[in-house]
Structure 1
Amino acid sequence: MPGTSPLLLLQVIKKETFRAVIDLIIFECLVATCIIMVGLFVSGEWEHLTTEMEGYKLGKVSYIMNLTWTAVSWQLFSIGSTGLICDASSLFSNAISVVGLPIVPILAVFFFHDKMSGVKAIAMVLAIWGFASYVYQHYLDDSRSKNSAGHVERCNVS
């Protein structure tokens, strides 16, 4: 849902309530889950799930906890980004999403001892650069509007 405009949301759900937004997120995720489940069973990959769970280094409980908390965090992200779209703008929601991208590889390096490759480093630099550009453009727009408002006030006073 990041990138969706509030006008499009209103055209689809016809109401501007928190419950309508939550319903939209739930139904979107439900459809995605059904499509993924069909693909899982059609491809035959479901037969390898127990082997994958048993081969997980930290154990079966950690495997299930990892999947569960990943799903919960994605749902919270969906609700938060949709809330940002409705309250601020889709551009701001995307900017906040982009600034969060470098956090995941950094945490993976510290907690999981993952290697920091050149591709990860470049992606992190680009994400930070994109967010900094967004903030700087906002600063420029704000100072231009203050300058033009100050100019108008001076003209009216004289």
Structure 2
Amino acid sequence: MDNRGCELNLPYPPIEVKGKNLCYAQLLQRDYTGKNGEMTAVTQYFYQHLTTKACSEALADELECVSIVEMRHLEMLGELIVLLGGVPVFRTTEGCVNTFWCGDNVQPTQNIKKFLQNNIAAEKIAIQNYRQHVMLIKDPKIQAVLERIILDEEHHIALFTKALSELPG
């Protein structure tokens, strides 16, 4: 991928696990396709990319680039889920209920200030979820992948914060 500033120039750890563990797979499923998971981030930022092109090509390009980074996260999580013995369906457990990922997770606002604020909040929730999963998952190989993803999410917060500060008015 060409680096347009949305991606840290750091390698990702290998996608490996110590062994099969369906409990870990279920935890990662939340990061994969939960309401605040990577599938939502991919589609949210791509939607914003499409709707922002006409008024700010630079921001639209950045949103597309971030969406692609989030897609890489989605792929890594899906691969980990498979290695753990899970199935990477677009479904997660919210509370005690199994739910499929839904397009309703994407917020349709086209107000740039509002969606940048929403993006920052969503990235913070994702980081919080990843940190919780790093503590719960006792596999250092998975922990390393999640810690690396956290670095990307922190970088995305910085990018969205900068874009927000550069808005007129």
TM above 0.5, yes or no, is no
Bigger share in helix:
1
TM-score (norm 2): 0.27
- The structure with the largest strand share of the pair is 2
Q: Report the structure number with the largest CA radius of gyration.
A: 1
